[in-house]
Amino acid sequence: MKKSLLILLTLIIGINLNTQAEDFSAVYNGDTIYYNITSSISPLTVSVTF
């Protein structure tokens, strides 16, 4: 029982870490573009992700 609970908890944590792959997104001409913020100082820079 403890082993299956540990495996379930590990899977939930792993899924949660992968759900926030982008920092923000925008829709342009019906296409969703995902962005990651690459700097923490002004002016901020971003990179486009898929």
Q: What angle do CA 42, 20, 6 make, to 5 degrees?
A: 135
* Residue 6 resides in a domain: no
* Residue 31 resides in a domain: yes
As a whole number of angstroms, the distance between CA 24 and CA 32 comes to: 10
What is the percentage of the chain residues whose pLDDT exceeds 70? 82
Number of compact structural domains in the chain: 1
* Residue 8 resides in a domain: no
* Residue 41 resides in a domain: yes
Q: What is the pLDDT of residues 26-49, one digit of tens each?
A: 999 999 999 888 888 888 889 998
**Domain enclosing residue 40, as ranges:** 21-50
* Residue 36 resides in a domain: yes
* Residue 46 resides in a domain: yes
Cβ(32)–Cβ(26) below 8 Å: yes
* pTM across the whole model: 0.50
| Token couple for 37 | 């913020």
pLDDT at position 23: 77
* Residue 3 resides in a domain: no
**Residue in 9, 7, 32, 34 with CA at minimum distance from that of residue 20:** 34
* Residue 26 resides in a domain: yes
For residues 13 and 17, the model is more confident at 13
User: pLDDT category, 18, cuts 50, 70, 90?
Assistant: low
Cβ(35)–Cβ(47) below 8 Å: yes
